[in-house]
C-alpha cells in the first residue's frame, strides 16, 4: 500500500517555501503523516521563528523540527536517505521573468540525486489551488521506456487507493518540429500508430486499461495542455530508473515540472 508516513518539508522561511505549507499540511492530514521541518542554514538558526511557523501552519499534525548546517541540497538528500522519508515536498523556486525558465538550484539538485518521491509545487509566482484535500484527478505522463511500466503501476495503485480519476498522456516522439501533421501527414500518423501500439503493450503488462491521450509537440507543452484540459490536480512522472552521468532528472522531466499547471510527484 502506498502511504506517506514521513514527509520531509525543507523550509528556508522564504515566501516560496512558506507558500507550499498549506499543501504539506493537507497532505499530512490526508495520509496521517509526520512532517519533518528541515531547516538548513550556514548561520545561526532562527529557532523561535521556526517554532512559530510550525505552530501556525501545522496545528494538530505531528511535527519534528530538524536544524542542520551545510549544503542545502546535500543535507536534504542525506536526511531523506538516512531517515526513511517517504516523500519530499518543496517548491521549485521559479519566479520572475527569467528564473521562471529554470528550476531553483536546490530543487534541481534534490530531484537529480534523491531516490525518494518528490512533490514539487507549481512553477509560478502564485500557487494554484490544488490542495491534496481536494484532489479529484491525476494525470500520469507516461513514457514507453523500461521505467514506464513501474510509473504506470504506481499511478494506478495510488489512484485506486485514493479514489481518484486517472488519465494517461504521452508526448509522441518526433511528432513536433521534425515531422508535423501538415508537413508529412503519413509519417505523423505512423508515429502516432506506433506509440499507440507501444502504450497498449505497456498497459497489458501493467494490468491497466486507462484512457490515454497522445499529443504531438514538446513534452512540457503536451503535458501542460493535457493537464489543463483534464483539470488535473496532480501530475505523476518518472525521473528515470538508471543513474547516468546526466543523473536521474532528464530534460523532459525538467520541462514538465516547469510547465505544469499543478503540482508534480516524480518517482
Q: What is the pLDDT of residues 182-236, one digit of tens each?
A: 566 788 888 899 999 999 999 999 999 999 999 887 889 899 999 999 999 999 9
Residues 142 and 48 in one domain: no
More confident residue, 14 or 34: 34
Residue 1: all three cell numbers together: 500500500
Q: What pLDDT is stored for residue 42 in this prediction?
A: 57
Is residue 234 in a domain? yes
Residue 230's nearest CA partner among 173, 175, 168 is: 168
Domain-embedded: residue 129? no
Distance of alpha carbon 76 from its chain centroid, rounded? 16
pLDDT of 258: 86
- Do residues 246 and 186 both lie within one domain? yes
The pLDDT of 58-64, averaged and rounded, is 96
152 located within any domain: yes
Residues 154 and 112 in one domain: no
Identify the CA nearest to 214 among candidates 141, 126, 137, 125.
141
Same domain, 169 and 200: yes
Domains in the chain, number: 2
- Tens of pLDDT, residues 88-146: 999 886 444 434 444 578 888 999 999 999 999 886 554 456 789 899 999 999 998 87
The domain of 221 spans 135-266
Residues 181 and 104 in one domain: no
Which residue's entry shows cell 500520469?
Answer: 140
Residue 110, pLDDT score: 92
Domain CATH for 199: 3.40.50.620
Please tell me whether residues 144 and 110 are part of one structural domain: no
Work out the pLDDT band at 48, boundaries 50, 70, 90.
Answer: confident
pLDDT (tens digit, 9 = 90+) per residue, 146-189? 789 999 999 999 999 999 999 999 998 766 655 565 566 788 88
Among the candidates 120, 146, 168, a domain finishes at 120
Which pTM was predicted?
0.88
Region 62-69: mean pLDDT is 93
Question: Of 93, 120, 147, which closes a domain?
Answer: 120
Q: Do 140 and 261 reside in the same domain of the chain?
A: yes
Query: Same domain for 141 and 239?
Result: yes
Judgement on whether residues 89 and 53 belong to the same structural domain of the protein: yes
Q: Is residue 127 part of a domain?
A: no
Amino acid at each position: 500500500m502506498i502511504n506517506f508516513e514521513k514527509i520531509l518539508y525543507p523550509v528556508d522561511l522564504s515566501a516560496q517555501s512558506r507558500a507550499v505549507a498549506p499543501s504539506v499540511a493537507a497532505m499530512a492530514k490526508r495520509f496521517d503523516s509526520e512532517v519533518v521541518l528541515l531547516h538548513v542554514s550556514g548561520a545561526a538558526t532562527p529557532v523561535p521563528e521556526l517554532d512559530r511557523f510550525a505552530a501556525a501552519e501545522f496545528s494538530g499534525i505531528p511535527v519534528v523540527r530538524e536544524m542542520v548546517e551545510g549544503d542545502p541540497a546535500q543535507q536534504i538528500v542525506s536526511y531523506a536517505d538516512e531517515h526513511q522519508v517517504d516523500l519530499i515536498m518543496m517548491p521549485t523556486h521559479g519566479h520572475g521573468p527569467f528564473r521562471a525558465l529554470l528550476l531553483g538550484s536546490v530543487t534541481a539538485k534534490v530531484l537529480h540525486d534523491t531516490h525518494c518521491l518528490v512533490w514539487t509545487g507549481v512553477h509560478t509566482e502564485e500557487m494554484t489551488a490544488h490542495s491534496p484535500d481536494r484532489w479529484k484527478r491525476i494525470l500520469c505522463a507516461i513514457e514507453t521506456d523500461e521505467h514506464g511500466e513501474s510509473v504506470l503501476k504506481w499511478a494506478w495503485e495510488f489512484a485506486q487507493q485514493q479514489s481518484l480519476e486517472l488519465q494517461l498522456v504521452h508526448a509522441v516522439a518526433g511528432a513536433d518540429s521534425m515531422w508535423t501533421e501538415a508537413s508529412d501527414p503519413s509519417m505523423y500518423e505512423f508515429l502516432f500508430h506506433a506509440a499507440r501500439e507501444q502504450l497498449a503493450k505497456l498497459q497489458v503488462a501493467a494490468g491497466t486499461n486507462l484512457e490515454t491521450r497522445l499529443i504531438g509537440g514538446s513534452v512540457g507543452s503536451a503535458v501542460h495542455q493535457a493537464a489543463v484540459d483534464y483539470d488535473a490536480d496532480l501530475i505523476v512522472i518518472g525521473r528515470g530508473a538508471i543513474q547516468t552521468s546526466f543523473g536521474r532528472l532528464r530534460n523532459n522531466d525538467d520541462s514538465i515540472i516547469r510547465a505544469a499547471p499543478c503540482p508534480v510527484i516524480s518517482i
